[in-house]
Amino acid sequence: MVTKLDLTAPQLQSIPTLQTSFIGVDFSFSVWTGRKKDKAVSAEVTRSKGAKDNTANVTKDLLAGNAQLEAIHKFIANVRNEHYELTQPWASMRVIKNDVFFNKYTPRMNAHGVTFWAMVQGFLDSYETDVSAAAFSLGGLFDRDDYPSRDVLATKFRFVIAPVPIATDFRTEIMDEAAKYIQQEYTKHYGDLILNAMGDAWDRLHAALARMSERLDYVGKEDKKIFRDSLVENAREMIDLLADFNLTGDDSMERARVKLMDALEGVTPEALREDDYFRHDVKRKVDSILKDLAW
C-alpha cells in the first residue's frame, strides 16, 4: 500500500469533526448463483477414473448459461465496484462525505436498485420456461429438485443500501487511571483508522496517475495507445477525494491535489487524443506529481 503520511495520533477532539462530516454506508446484495454440486455425478466421475473419494467435483450450471442471470451478476459486480469507488474504508465499514452521500451516491444507487429489480423481475418471469429449456440442455444431469420454486427463488435476490452512523465517543464512570489508559488506546485506534483511510486515498491517486501516465506515453499515430474517456474522469475524481479525505491537513496531500487540479485544467479526452503536444504536456505534469511524491 502506498502511504505518504506524517501522522501522529490525532487528538480526540478531531474525531467528532469526522463523525459530523461523514456517514457510514452499507451495501449488501445477493444474487442466485444458478449452480449446484452434483454429488452423485461427482462420485461417478471419481470411480470411473480410479480416483479417491471427494477428489472430483461436478458443479452444474442449472440454467446452462442463462443470459439474463449472467447480466444480473455482471450488473451487480459493476455496482459493487462503484460503491467502493465512491466510499473509503473506515474500521469495518465504508464511509462517505455527507454531501456526496446525498447528492451523488444515493441518486446513483437508487437508480441502480430500480434497474436491478427490473432485471430480476424479467428473469423471474421467464424462469419456468428457462427451467424447461434446461432439461434439454442438461440431459441426464437434469434434476427438477435442484430448482427452487419461483417464490423461493425471489428470496435469493437482495439489494439494500443502509446508512450507518459512525460511532461517537464513549463515556463511562471509571477510575482516572483507567480512563487515561482507555483514552490513549482510543486515540491510537482512531489514528490507525485515519492512516488507513488516507492511505487508501493515496493508493487510488497513485493508480489513477500511473494509469494516465502509461496511456499517454506515445509519440504519434504509429504507436498510438487506446484509452477511454474514464481515464480523465477517474483522475479528476481524485481532486475531490483528496480534499474529502485529507483528515489531518497533510501538506503533501494538499500539494498533490492542487498540482493535479492544475494539470487537469481544460483537459478533455478528445484533446489528449488529437493534440500530441498537449498530451505530452499533460503527461509531463502527471509525471511531475508522481516524482514529487517519490512514486
Question: What mean pLDDT value characterizes the chain?
Answer: 82
**DSSP letter assigned to residue 103:** I
Q: Kindly list the strands in the beta sheet with 93-97, ordered across the sheet, starting from the edge strand earlier in the chain.
A: 88-90, 93-97, 22-30, 158-164
Residue 213 binned pLDDT confidence (cut-offs 50, 70, 90) = very high
Q: What is the DSSP string of 189-232?
A: HHHHHHHHHHHHHHHHHHHHHHHHHHHT---SGGG-----THHH
Instruction: Quick: pLDDT tens for 220-263.
Output: 777 889 999 999 998 998 998 888 878 778 888 899 999 999 99
- Terminal C-alpha separation, the chain: 12
CA of residue 22 relative to chain centroid, distance: 18
3 phi/psi in degrees, rounded to 5? -135, 115
The 3-class secondary structure across 125-174, one letter per residue, is HCHHHHHHHHHHHHHHHCCHHHCCCHHHHHCCCEEEEEEECCCCCCCCCC
Which carries the bigger pLDDT value, residue 73 or residue 7? 73
How far apart are the C-alpha atoms of 260 and 254, rounded to whole Å?
10
Residue 3 binned pLDDT confidence (cut-offs 50, 70, 90) = very low
pTM of the model: 0.57
Which carries the bigger pLDDT value, residue 184 or residue 254? 254
Q: Which of 118, 156, 215 is nearest to 35 (CA)?
A: 156
Q: Which residue(s) pair with 96 in the sheet?
A: 23
Q: Which of 2, 1, 85 is nearest to 256 (CA)?
A: 2
Percentage of the chain with pLDDT > 90? 48
How far apart are the C-alpha atoms of 147 and 145, rounded to whole Å?
5
Residue 159 binned pLDDT confidence (cut-offs 50, 70, 90) = very high
Residue located via cell numbers 503520511:
5
